[in-house]
Structure formats: structure tokens, C-alpha cells
């Protein structure tokens, strides 16, 4: 089957109406600049035998910095070629004015977990994320939607939105995909050049050191990592925190049965990178 390209809501709706009865739809939302991390989501969706829809939309509502939005990488032609090779059934590429028409003023706001980690430093970021995801759910009405664990807080909040609002979409998270050096794949990696790319690769190398430690207090782990990262040239930290994977709460001690994860946001050569790593 040839991949369908829909660039408008009417075109998308028309193709969705042509689906066979009982055909389950799988949704893979992206902001484009497709890489192997996105393709892992596509492969999981295809393996589940869903009618696979990939969206490419750089969502302006989740950017708190206009310059950051303007420099976000784009490669639509290459994206389409890659997705066609993976036999994606439909690619939806709307314009901003279609998703946010004139006079648009309705946004989703989560009030407990949106102001920590990335949300603490990016005002209204997760409001923009949850709003566009909910809009896509309403428009596409998928059976399942796929997201990467690299954006763990985003995945956590989307799951919470679905639960809180009784949305009938199955949320499937996929482990972070990394390159051969352990750098988490991200569209922003394309903005890294030369020495900055080499420094970025040291994020994961420092994370792996934690497995050999025997700290009992969370603060000690955080202080150790901050020191090691700084020594590796990663000295422009926005945050580094250890939190509970299941609740995003911040414990003081390491206890059996608690699944912990270290979260980081760091600027390398002016490029903001995020990552996370399971401690146990």
C-alpha cells in the first residue's frame, strides 16, 4: 500500500473514513527530523498491526522561546523518504494555522507535575504538549499512541492526562534509543557540531558510573554526578535530579522497591539536551 500524505484536516478525515471497519489506528506524533528513535516507535506500531499514522508538526505552543522554535531542525523531504521506507500508512503534516486557527484560546493545564524538571524552566511547555496531543487524539481517534522514554516527563504527563480525562487511548512507551556512544537520539542532535557533539556523548558515560556506587542518599548521587559532568565539560546544567519513576516525586533516600531515575537538562554549545537514566 502506498503511503498517504495528508496536509489538511479534511484530507486526513477523508482517509480515516475510508478505513476498514474495526481497523485499529496507531498514532506516532513527532515534530519531524525523523531519526531511529522515531522509527523504533513506527516499528512497534507496525508490529502491532495497526494502521500507522505519523504526524509531523513543530508545535509552536510548546516553545517558550521564539528563537528556539525558529532554529528547530527540519528535513521534510528526507522524513517522507524514511517513513515511506518503513511503510507508514499515513503521514499527517498540518500547518500551524490549521491546528491553532485565529482566535484559538483553549489549552490543557496539568497542575501537579508540570512545574518540575523541564516544566520548571519552560513556562507553559507541557500545557502546549498536552494540548496538541489531546487535539491529535480527538482528530485521529487512535486505538494506541506511541512515545519515547527519552521525554520521560512528557510520557508521564500524557499517561496522566489519559487517565484523568478518561481518554480511550492506549499509551505505549518505548525505551530511549541511543547511538553507539550512548547519546540519546534527538532531533536537536543535528545542531551539535564537532567538540560539542563529543562533549554531549559524555552524558551517558557519566550516568553509567552510578551503577558502581553505593550511596544511600539521593543528594549524594546528585552531587557526585554534577561534579563528574562538570569535569567532562558539561558545566551548563539546567537541572539534574533523581526522582521516583512511578510518581515523579523527589525522595531523600534510596529504598528497596523504589524505582529511581536521574533526569538531566543541559546546554551544550547552546543546544538544550535532555536525558534520563534508570538507577535500579
Q: Using CB atoms within 10 A of its CB, is residue 2 exposed (0-12), middle (13-18) or buried (19+)?
A: exposed
Beta-carbon contacts of residue 30 (< 8 Å; ≥ 6 apart):
38, 54, 55, 56, 57
Alpha helices (runs of H) in the chain, residue ranges in sequence order: 9-17, 36-47, 66-70, 76-85, 96-99, 118-121, 125-140, 152-164, 194-200, 202-208, 218-231
Between CA 148 and CA 144 the distance in angstroms is: 14
Torsion angle, alpha carbons of 30, 12, 130, 166, to 10? -130
Catalytic residue among 35, 38, 125, 217: 38
Residue 5 belongs to what H/E stretch?
strand 4-6
**Contact between residue 256 and residue 232 where contact means Cβ atoms under 8 Å apart:** no
- 144: which 3 cell numbers? 494506541
Say whether 125 is catalytic. Answer: no
- First-residue to last-residue Cα distance in the chain: 43
Known catalytic residues are 38
Amino acid at each position: 500500500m502506498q503511503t498517504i500524505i495528508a496536509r489538511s484536516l479534511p484530507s486526513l478525515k477523508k482517509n480515516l473514513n475510508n478505513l476498514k471497519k474495526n481497523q485499529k489506528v496507531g498514532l506516532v506524533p513527532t515534530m519531524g527530523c525523523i531519526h531511529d528513535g522515531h522509527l523504533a516507535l513506527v516499528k512497534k506500531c507496525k508490529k502491532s498491526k495497526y494502521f500507522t499514522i505519523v504526524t509531523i508538526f513543530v508545535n509552536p505552543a510548546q516553545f517558550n522561546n521564539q528563537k528556539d522554535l525558529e532554529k528547530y531542525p527540519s528535513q521534510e523531504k528526507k522524513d517522507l523518504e524514511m517513513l515511506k521506507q518503513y511503510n507508514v500508512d499515513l503521514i499527517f503534516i498540518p500547518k500551524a494555522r490549521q491546528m491553532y486557527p485565529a482566535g484559538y484560546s483553549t489549552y490543557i493545564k496539568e497542575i501537579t507535575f508540570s512545574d518540575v524538571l523541564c516544566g520548571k524552566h519552560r513556562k507553559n511547555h507541557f500545557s502546549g504538549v498536552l494540548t496538541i496531543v489531546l487535539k491529535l487524539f480527538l482528530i485521529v481517534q487512535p486505538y494506541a499512541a506511541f512515545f519515547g522514554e527519552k521525554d520521560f516527563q512528557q510520557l508521564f504527563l500524557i499517561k496522566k492526562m489519559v487517565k484523568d480525562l478518561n481518554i480511550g487511548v492506549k499509551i505505549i512507551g518505548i525505551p530511549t534509543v541511543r547511538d553507539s556512544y550512548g547519546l540519546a537520539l534527538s532531533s536537536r542532535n543535528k545542531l551539535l557540531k564537532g567538540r560539542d557533539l563529543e562533549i554531549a556523548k559524555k552524558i551517558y558515560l557519566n550516568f553509567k558510573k552510578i551503577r558502581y556506587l553505593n550511596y544511600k542518599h539521593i543528594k549524594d548521587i546528585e552531587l557526585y554526578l554534577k561534579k563528574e559532568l562538570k569535569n567532562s565539560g558539561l558545566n551548563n546544567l539546567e537541572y539534574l535530579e533523581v526522582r521516583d519513576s512511578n510518581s515523579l516525586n523527589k525522595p531523600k533516600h534510596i529504598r528497596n522497591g523504589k524505582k529511581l531515575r536521574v533526569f538531566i537538562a543541559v546546554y551544550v554549545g547552546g543546544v538544550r539536551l535532555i536525558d534520563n537514566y534508570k538507577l535500579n
